[in-house]
Structures are given as structure tokens and as C-alpha cells.
Amino acid sequence: MSSRHRGRSLALMCLYQIDLVGTEPARAMKFDWYDKKITKEEKDYAIFLVKGVVENRREIDTLIKKYSENWELSRISVVNRCILRLSILSLQKEPFLAAPVVINEAVELTKEFETEESAHFINGLLDAFYKKEILPKSPG
């Protein structure tokens, strides 16, 4: 497993705690709840993602609502919301990552933590978001 994938997994678990349990972000980002070894690179990447989602959550949630086609945010499972949040953040704030890679990572996380059906939903929403919000702004 790549350190970027592991960092995304950590960020997902952290965001899940924040969203579902209401854990303070600073507390969740200590990762003392995680019982496996974490490299500095994995931890730093997870913190970057979590902070980005926390700071931009309102804007990201507005985009999720826009592209979820008649689904209320509250009807989207906590895991799927968190995957969408961190993936939209990556698509917006990490232009050096190819969009298909970010979307594929989101689908893989969804398959790992959710269902195949959820993976199709995540893929479709992120693809639509990318094509309408990111691609038109790309240079070239």
C-alpha cells in the first residue's frame, strides 16, 4: 500500500470520527486511536487532507449537494461523505495529481470501507464534478 493511499485512509478515518462522533479535529489528528505504525509522510499527508476538509467543509459540502443529483447530504453515508470531501479537496488543491488517480483512489477507498454500489456513486459524482468544475479551469 502506498504512503499516499495510507494517508488517505488515515484521513478518512479521522474525518469519520469528526463527522460521526464530533471529535475535535485537533484531537482526532493526534492519531492516538490508530494502533498501527504511521510514517511521518503518511501522517503529514493525512493532516493536510483533514485540515483542508475542515477549513473548506462548507464549500465542499455545497459542491457535493450540487453533484449528488437530488440526494440530501444527510442521506449520503458518513463514509461516502468523508471520501467525497477528501477527494474534492484533492481535486481542487492538488493539481499535480492526475484527476483519474484521485478518483480511482476514492473508488478504492469506497470499495474498502463501503460497497460496490457506493463506489459507482462516488465515481459518478467525482467524475461529474471534475468535468464541470476543474477541467474547464485547467490550462491548455
Q: Are 81 and 73 contacting, i.e. CB atoms less than 8 angstroms apart?
A: yes
- Mean per-residue pLDDT of the chain: 93
Q: Note the pLDDT tens digit of each residue in 11-49.
A: 999 999 999 999 999 999 998 888 889 999 999 999 999
- Residue 55: closest CA among 86, 91, 30, 34: 86
pLDDT at 63 over 60: yes
Calpha distance 11→128 (Å, rounded): 23
Burial class (CB in 10 A: 0-12, 13-18, 19+), 100: exposed
**What pTM did the predictor assign?**
0.94
Please determine, for residue 139, whether its predicted confidence score (pLDDT) is greater than 80.
Answer: no
> pLDDT value at position 49?
97
Residue 140: pLDDT band with limits 50, 70, 90: low
CA dist 41 → 8, 12, 133 (Å)? 11, 16, 29
The pLDDT, as a whole number, for residue 12 is 97
The model's confidence at residue 135, banded by pLDDT at 50, 70 and 90, is confident
Which CATH number is 3-137 given?
A: 1.10.940.10
Instruction: Please tell me which residue, 76 or 140, carries the higher pLDDT value.
Output: 76
- Structure-block grid coordinates of residue 107: 473508488
